[in-house]
Structure 1
């Protein structure tokens, strides 16, 4: 049941990504398409976000699938969770051309399994093997695939999200949406409007140059959204990354809602009615443990990456364990009653339902949450494996979790040290209810670095 990270050469935790023309090329997209077509014969859905390089990479990916004998349905521009929902309902696999939150010069490919989840490590390694060995299947001239366009299928996703809530749940609400010129430029405003909200939008045109802000919805980039929320008296503002599998919020006072606190707030709402396990990576704030205990739920930790969260949720459910909720502390939340992937559109809709159930504004609900102080740093370290071993020895008398790197758990604090998969550095996170203790713990950890 426990999910372990396996070593891959091309795929990261969320597909293949790189700078277009350097790391991410049509030739690579073609080879991914052929390898996927070799592994998943049938009808494959393809979609993309708004990046300028999307059409060329999508064309190459589709060419590979067609050459391998697969039929292709092009869904056009749509959020990644929309494609995942549609694949689960209709197709044999899928792929989306996106680099999510990365800058405009990046692009990538996420591969989606028939159940709508991202391809896991084991199958990704098999796919990589076909690429590196060059043994993908070529269909004969009379067996090549056919292509058709189906951009209107995104309506099924919108309908499913809206139908998850009572009619007019957001009646009387004024909200502001900032899709960041990305894949949710139409879907999220449409979802909120159909829930009864009056919606103001900015950065709602599909533009892969991302003129309004970068695809990562940072506090600095969302300053115009915060200004508009305050100017209009909106209940909240919601923003997405490039492919809208994540959502982040601005409260009614114009404050950026830190994503771990967002996770805690929505988990508290979900777990009022749905009991069971909350699944989340080892990098998530302890606020989730506090909320889980309050609502009679438990927490299961996974390696960092939404695919490990989703796969663990599937494994737990198959073994008869009730799964209440899942997600990461970055705005990527998973609603098992809807689908087992991060879903920014569902998160925006859930926030409407949450506020409709309360007489308090979002700012008051946020201020009532437990407070934790978190330090996040990236530190250069050539020998990350050696560092992890030194930390294991130095803190051997404490509670250790080696699910992903090493997490050291104390009664009032915890620290996580995990190597980067792409750079000679490690990521360090330390959290405590007290700033002074977090700082002291961080200094203890840093003492063991050698670079």
Structure 2
């Protein structure tokens, strides 16, 4: 089980380390942690969902067995987007477990936990880990083979109604939208919603095998495919999500994929929100755009964004939205427009930013490219080095942060370091303005690099240099 760890959003690791007893043990630990916090009278029911990767059904069976062992009634929501599962569980004030590895490769998977109040906190993670250690050390150890049936629930329908009830029926009328389906658990939902709101949806590239679409570090083959579709078709936009449907991908009519923070800014503007909570990996355009009255920066990961939104609400902030550089958007405040209400949903969601942005394209009569240009968001880029062990990433980042001579020498080919931020990884601003930020992924053995520069060409050049320079240090 060496690969299993809590990252930026849930427990992740290699399938071989997660299937069988570990899935059972961690789910049992989670439910014991939930029960320890109950004050009495809480319904002992737990919701489950899964993505479409090959290992998810087997892991689900172990999780359901753990629910029965813990004395909970299991409810199977099937293959649904993570935010759909969260919405169903929050409605019933019940815990939930999503079996998903999100965007990481098919040889990995994970468990994402929701308490009765919503997505778990970092303190909850520590509590679950402690419960797991006790369970693993018990004699005899609980048996993962215990089975049990689960009731079914149509969480997808309620999630769809959330959006058809908020957006007007012709919100997307006249728009032609390509839907890159691959193995996203939201692939049919997106087609249905675009159609229900008056648009024309064209399904593209549905896959029977899992495709690891990362909305923050795009695969070259996906970028090329989207550009080819844009060149060959008459699409106003091409949309998709990652594997579990909590992170969006949106490309304009020319096939240019929008950055996640730009998509978040457009959604903030479309919904008239005023407070943005976002990690340090989002670009400085968050502040320079002037869209929000208040901006709060956090570490990377939805638990930190959720904590930041709660803190902002406690200080009296209104119109709160959180989003990440990967595009996942968390709605911290209810939105009311034209007598239609959209309740808060403080967990990562891909559907709201897609629909809100497309609806603004239609209402403004301006192409997506034009809306992005209005933001004057500058140029940013991001990618990652894969198969970099956490220890190597940590050693590199620690040296960058603590050894000034090493740092100055490392960045010398790119410029002179003017300032450093070590809130999450190492983020430097160079004397002539560009930004370079390195951090280790919390979900996979990857070292990520984020850059900002004055032009698209300069950002691409700086990103290529950053990846090559970092690779020489961590693999050299």
Instruction: Establish whether TM, by shorter chain, passes 0.5.
Output: yes
TM-score (normalizing by structure 1): 0.83
Q: 1:268-347 maps to which residues of 2 (within 5 A)?
A: 268-270=269-271, 273-275=272-274, 277-291=275-289, 293=290, 295-336=291-332, 337=334, 338-347=344-353
Deviation at 1:416, TM superposition (A): 2.7
1:413–1:433 Cα contact (<8 Å) kept: yes
Structure 1 window deviating more from structure 2 (184-193 vs 214-223): it is: 214-223
2:380–2:450 Cα contact (<8 Å) kept: no
Which residue, out of 347, 356, 361, partners 1:355? 361
Classify 1:282/1:38 alpha carbon distance in 2 versus 1 (closer, same or farther; 3 Å): same
Q: Secondary structure at the match of 1:221?
A: helix
Which residue, out of 51, 54, 75, partners 2:53? 51
Deviation at 1:409, TM superposition (A): 4.5
User: What's the counterpart of residue 40 of structure 1?
Assistant: 34
Deviations 1:316-338 (A, max 9, x none): 21332224322111121222233
Q: Number of matched residues?
A: 428
User: What's the counterpart of residue 18 of structure 2?
Assistant: 24
Q: Secondary structure at the match of 1:256?
A: coil
Deviation at 1:367, TM superposition (A): 3.8
Q: Distance in 1 between matches of 2:405 and 2:135?
A: 41
Classify 1:410/1:340 alpha carbon distance in 2 versus 1 (closer, same or farther; 3 Å): farther
Q: Does residue 195 of structure 2 align to residue 188 of structure 1?
A: no
Deviation at 1:392, TM superposition (A): 10
1:10–1:128 Cα contact (<8 Å) kept: no
Structure 1 window deviating more from structure 2 (411-420 vs 189-198): it is: 411-420
Q: Distance in 1 between matches of 2:19 and 2:255?
A: 40
1:80–1:96 Cα contact (<8 Å) kept: yes
Q: Distance in 2 between matches of 1:424 and 1:87?
A: 31
User: What's the counterpart of residue 405 of structure 1?
Assistant: 425
Q: Distance in 2 between matches of 1:39 and 1:229?
A: 49
Unaligned runs of 5+ in 1: 1-7
Q: Distance in 1 between matches of 2:253 and 2:323?
A: 24
User: What's the counterpart of residue 82 of structure 2?
Assistant: 80
Deviations 1:231-264 (A, max 9, x none): 4412111011110101111211233333343333
1:246–1:330 Cα contact (<8 Å) kept: yes
Q: 1:227-242 maps to which residues of 2 (within 5 A)?
A: 227-242=228-243
1:176–1:225 Cα contact (<8 Å) kept: no
Deviation at 1:345, TM superposition (A): 1.6
Q: Does residue 401 of structure 2 align to residue 388 of structure 1?
A: yes
Q: Distance in 2 between matches of 1:392 and 1:282?
A: 25
User: What's the counterpart of residue 436 of structure 2?
Assistant: 415
Q: Distance in 2 between matches of 1:193 and 1:345?
A: 14
Unaligned runs of 5+ in 2: 36-43, 335-343, 409-416
Q: 1:59-208 maps to which residues of 2 (within 5 A)?
A: 59-117=61-119, 119-134=120-135, 147-204=149-206, 207=208
The Cα RMSD (Å) is 3.5
Q: Distance in 2 between matches of 1:377 and 1:190?
A: 33
User: What's the counterpart of residue 413 of structure 2?
Assistant: none
TM-score (normalizing by structure 2): 0.79
